[in-house]
Amino acid sequence: MRRVYADNNATTRVDDRVVEEMLPLFNATYGNPSSMHTFGAEAEKKLRQARVRVAEFITADPSEIVFTGCGTESDNTALFGTLEAYPDKKHIVTTKVEHPAVLNPCQLLAKKGYAVTFLSVDSEGMLDLDELRDSIRDDTAIVSIMYANNETGVIFPIEAIGQIARERGIVFHVDAVQAAAKIPLDVNKLNVDLLSISGHKIHAPKGVAALYVHRGTKLRPLLVGGHQEKGRRGGTESLPAIVGFGKACELAAEHLPEMDARVRAMRDKLESALLQSIPEAHVNGGKSPRVPNTLSVRFEYVEGESILLLLDRDGIAASSGSACSSGSLEPSHVLRAMGIPYTSVHGSIRLSLSRFNSDEEVDYILEKFPPIISKLREISPFVQTTHAPKQP
């Protein structure tokens, strides 16, 4: 059976060139980068090269890159590390649509007595910058806002938000985990102090990520241990993964034009063909700027989980809401924050493409998808009208 992977916002396949670059780190250059001997020096050289590659990818200085174990750790370090550095400041600004890697620490901090403003979004998933401006207080320690939403792909105006935070002298953290490799990232243009990216979303392995720390930004470590990462993250570096991450960053920069053209064209084709062939289908966040690979679409009168199961039977991997919260049938907090009715949230599917997808795969999805929706609507207790697929 044909298999089509369209769940690239959950994780991505590791590029073969990344694997190739990593392999010698397991059995040849396996020293500890902190060791004084030649094995250590060779490993340290590889670490330095990877740091340069990651820094170049986001137009940073290598000294501003801290390697971490995952995007969640980068986000947690940004939040807890900033609050530790500013013990008198007790207020955080974030949004209702953040990934759990930011949302859950903020909810925890709220329970511990911090004041947290969770900014709303409109029906297209967009923020109100006046609400953001008004929310900032004298005791605001950090503004933490994502670049691109993992569920809808909606892009927030980070440069403008950065301007507001900078004018008020407040640390600005951006979770760019879903923006990296999809749109250009230039930390200098964006006015950011802290920025998270994660390896496994950009064709590097799982277990490696980075936090960009703008020079001079006060930050306490989350992991307190050895002097690795200039004391900003204790623990022996996972060198093979870091080297793979460096290569993946280099490749991501090379492939950005392809993402913007070929991958965007595939997503747009999927979107228009699904809307054309299936009645009562709507794109979540469709009127907002979005990253080029993501399509979140809701189908009335059907359950997203049933669609996923039937797609999976045809070899197609997609996602309903955030992959990180699958296993629970909680409606997506992102789509709920956009005011989408509970029942429609349950009928939402996310398709997320990568440069490894082909036109033939898009055609295969388009062949299988409409009959699945028709079949489910035939047996749906919620259907109020006839839902035969439209004739092309």
Active site residue 70: no
Q: Are 124 and 288 in contact (CB under 8 A)?
A: yes
Q: 198 vs 277, which CB is nearer to ligand PLP?
A: 198
**Whether the Cβ atoms of residue 344 and residue 298 lie closer than 8 Å to each other:** yes
What angle (nearest 5°) sits at the alpha carbon of residue 174, between those of residues 172 and 178? 175
CB of 71 to ligand PLP, least distance (A): 3
Rg (CA), the chain: 22
The nearest distance, CB 93 to ligand PLP, in angstroms, is: 17
Alpha helices (H) along 198-300: 239-258, 264-277
Q: How far is the CB of 196 from ligand PLP (least distance, A)?
A: 7
Smallest gap from Cβ 195 to ligand PLP, in A, equals: 11
Q: Which one, 175 or 280, has the nearer CB to ligand PLP?
A: 175
Measured at CB, which residue is nearest to ligand PLP? Answer: 71
Task: Please identify, using beta-carbon distances, which residue of 12 and 228 lies nearer to ligand PLP.
Answer: 12
Give bridge partners of residue 349 from the DSSP assignment: 297
Footprint of ligand PLP (CB under 6 A): 70-72, 75, 99, 101, 146, 150, 175, 177-178, 198, 200, 209, 324
Catalytic residue, from 70, 106, 249, 324: name it: 324
Of 75 and 271, CB closest to ligand PLP: 75
Residues in the chain, total: 392
3-state secondary structure of 282: strand
Q: How far apart are CA 325 and CA 236, in angstroms?
A: 30
Q: Give 51 or 99: the residue with its C-beta nearer to ligand PLP.
A: 99
Residues 228, 234 contacting (CB under 8 angstroms): yes
The distance of Cα 273 from the centroid of its chain, to the nearest Å, equals 26
**Residue 146 burial by CB count (10 A; 0-12/13-18/19+): exposed, middle or buried?**
buried
Minimum CB separation of residue 322 from ligand PLP in Å reads 7
Residues with catalytic roles: 324
